[in-house]
Amino acid sequence: MTPPDPSTPHPSRHAALDRLAWFRPRMGAAYAAARNIDLGPTRREGVSGLSPYLRHRLLLECEAVAAAASAHGPAGAETFIQEVFWRTYWKGWLERRPGVWRAYREAVQDRAATIAAEPDLAARLRAAEAGETGLDCFDFWARELVEYGYLHNHARLWFASLWIFTLRLPWELGADFFLRFLIDGDPASNTLGWRWVAGLQTPGKHYLARAENIARFTEGRFRPDPADLAEEAEPLVGEPPPGAAPPPAPDRAPLRLEAGTGLLLSEEDLHPESLPGLAPRRLAAVALMSCAADRSPGAVSPSVERFTGAALQDAGGRLEAAGAPPATRLDGDRASGRALAEWAERAGLRTVLTPYAPVGPAAERLAAAQAALAERGIALRPMLREWDARAWGHADRGFFRFRKAIPELMRAAGL
């Protein structure tokens, strides 16, 4: 099978399934051996390239895990399966500690408001984002991120470490840079990944990029001088992570699509066909809510907005092909809470169904919409998937404790 172009993911369910089928034979030993090697933006054969699709649920986590387990067995595909579950774990961890997200958002806002008064920081930040620091590997990755909307996972770790410990830039601004440009940018994975590198997620444990490691896992593409890197640095110190709140409980009441029921999709979950009980022909209206611009107070990459918008359109098109009414796009200010409520009122809706949106911009939009809908007597019914409901209950501590629950979670999902 000819590999899909790794540098330009197509925002569709069909492309996700093509990529899944292509990578399925490589999900076992080949993935475990090659996943840490970064050969550059046009040579990504060692990694799946599924992250943009999993991020927006054009492809479900259970589908990726099922493909790996059926091709290689749970033990043979253990590394790949764990990587998929990392995404679920991060979402659950942040869902149960939303204050961590709020604190990050506030820090980015504060920095954005004061950076003009800090000319040295502003200049160093511009150089880092433009790939003009003089550190070859870092500068290449900064330009790669902007051009392709993607970085290899190992490069993300190196980049974050260099940003924090070598360039001495605020981690929140680095996380914001990633979220503005990564097509697969996810509030949970991105925020908590940067916190982990900094030493804040697991206090006292941080990640330091080392010249030998970069040279080895880029197969000599980069050979930085160790003297140019902060190979010895103390972790950042901050407030310890808060305790975990209870996970959200799924609404298991039978879904009855009565007259006046509509569906609202955000980029958090674009596989409405698999929502239990959802019958597209019985929907009175469908809306597509883009929140890509809400990722940051700064300018979000046009590539991110294009991919997200097209992925939403793909989901709306699949629903329409199954008998749903044509979808209404709600972007920018038209996706505000009041505008969403006005759409529902114009459509004569009494209930708006929506896939559950975890902590992040879409959840913030939906929280505002819920109050505006309630003013009009319209109910908002989030639909939490069983995959999340089961897994998030185990996201109370670290991943290695969570990992012990993976076999149980797979059995519960029928895998």
SS3 of 31-100: the string is HHHHCCCCCCCCCCCCCCCCHHHHHCCCCCHHHHHHHHHHHHHHHHCHHHHHHHHHHHHHHHHHHCCHHH
Q: Determine the pLDDT at residue 331.
A: 77
Q: In 3-state terms, what secondary structure has residue 261?
A: strand
In tens digits, the chain (415 residues) has pLDDT values of 555 565 678 999 999 999 999 999 999 999 999 999 999 998 888 999 999 999 999 999 999 999 999 999 999 999 999 999 999 999 999 999 999 999 999 999 998 888 888 999 999 999 999 999 999 999 999 999 999 999 999 999 999 999 999 999 999 999 999 999 999 999 999 999 999 999 999 998 999 999 999 999 999 999 999 999 999 999 999 988 889 999 999 887 777 778 899 999 999 999 999 999 899 999 999 999 999 999 999 999 999 999 999 999 999 999 999 999 999 998 766 667 888 999 999 999 999 999 999 999 999 999 999 999 999 999 999 999 999 999 999 999 999 999 999 999 999 999 9
DSSP letters, 342-372, are HHHHHTT-SEEEEEPPPTTHHHHHHHHHHHH
Q: Determine the pLDDT at residue 335.
A: 63
pLDDT tens string 297-334: 999 999 999 999 999 999 999 999 999 999 999 876 66
For residue 147, what are the CA distances in angstroms to 52, 125, 138, 150, 379?
Answer: 16, 18, 14, 8, 42
Burial class (CB in 10 A: 0-12, 13-18, 19+), 17: middle
State the sign of the Cα–Cα–Cα–Cα dihedral 57, 365, 187, 395: negative
Q: Determine the pLDDT at residue 1.
A: 52
pLDDT tens string 247-289: 999 887 777 778 899 999 999 999 999 999 899 999 999 999 9
Q: Determine the pLDDT at residue 56.
A: 98
The pair phi, psi for residue 52, each rounded to 5°, is -60, -30
DSSP state at residue 167? S
R_g of the chain, CA atoms, integer Å? 21
- Residue 192's nearest CA partner among 201, 183, 184 is 201
pLDDT tens string 1-27: 555 565 678 999 999 999 999 999 999
Q: Determine the pLDDT at residue 28.
A: 98
Q: Determine the pLDDT at residue 183.
A: 97
Segment (H or E) for 263: strand 261-266
Q: Determine the pLDDT at residue 225.
A: 96
